[in-house]
Structure 1
Amino acid sequence: MINKLHNRVEQASSALHNISEKINSVSDMNTQITIVTEELSAVAEEIKRNATNILFT
């Protein structure tokens, strides 16, 4: 009985560890997406500025 309980606790601990790793991975991906989005926004703004300069010069 105690061995079964011990095994289940180990399984639960392992599962929680795996879940924690997945959460960290998703968090890292979100950080990367945020950075890329900000960079793309800056590029779009630069294109808009350049297009405006071409049209009005």
Structure 2
Amino acid sequence: MAKRALIEARDEIREKNRVIEQLKKTISQMRQRVTVNEEDEIVRQFEEFYV
């Protein structure tokens, strides 16, 4: 039972790491397209939503 829980936790961590890597790529692409003011607004909106 404990082994199964560890395997499930490992799989969940791997999936979250994949999501994080994709978000990093998206952020990098977005940074190439926006001005500093636009970037500040995007960060502000992100913080409102997630923090």
Return 5+ residue gaps in structure 1 as ranges.
1-10, 46-57
- Match of residue 27 from structure 2: 37
CA offsets per residue over residues 7-38 of structure 1, 9 Å max, x none? xxxx0000000000000000000000000000
TM-score, length of structure 1 as denominator length = 0.59
Which consecutive segments of 4 or more residues in structure 1 shift more than 3 A? none
Higher relative contact order, structure no. (Cα contacts within 8 Å, ≥ 6 residues apart): 2
Local SS of the residue matching 1:17: helix
Question: Where in structure 2 are the equivalents of 1:5-20 lying within 5 Å?
Answer: 11-20=1-10
Supply the RMSD in Å over aligned alpha carbons. 0.8
Return 5+ residue gaps in structure 2 as ranges.
36-51
Give percent identity, aligned residues only: 14
- Higher-Rg member (1/2): 1
